[in-house]
Amino acid sequence: MIRYSCDLCKRDLDPEHDLRYVVKIEVYAAFDPTTDGEEDDRDHLEEIQDILERLEDSDSDQVGDDVYQQLRFDLCPECRKKFARNPLAREAAKVFDFSSN
Ligand SMILES: [Zn+2]
């Protein structure tokens, strides 16, 4: 049986009792549409598509990490709540100060 553990708090998740949440993060370079006039969104989507296809062809994990990156995490319900509140891990103190005490 596959055992999962939370990637944030590291506690083991019991598949029979604990809900497990999967967080998938896609980070990819944004290609701003050029202002040439004739270009439209379709062109830069194709450009991204080309890059993704090239990445799929490539065997190297190193290629394109700064162009396209996919991350996957398993989270327990508590950590999922924390993540949903602050997905970019911004300074929690400032954001949530008003609710302390
Ligand atoms: Zn957790």
Write phi, then psi, for 91 (nearest 5 degrees): -55, 105
Question: Distance from the CA of 71 to the center of ligand 1, in angstroms?
Answer: 17
Question: Distance from the CA of 26 to the center of ligand 1, in angstroms?
Answer: 21
Q: Which residue matches tokens 């190297």?
A: 60
Q: Structure pTM?
A: 0.58
Question: Distance from the CA of 69 to the center of ligand 1, in angstroms?
Answer: 23
Q: Is the pLDDT of residue 65 over 80?
A: no
Determine the pLDDT at residue 77: 95
Phi-psi bin for 89: left (phi > 0), alpha (psi -120 to 50), beta? left
A 10 A CB-CB count for 79 gives 19
Q: Is the pLDDT of residue 92 over 90?
A: no
Domain ranges of the chain: 1-23+73-94, 30-65
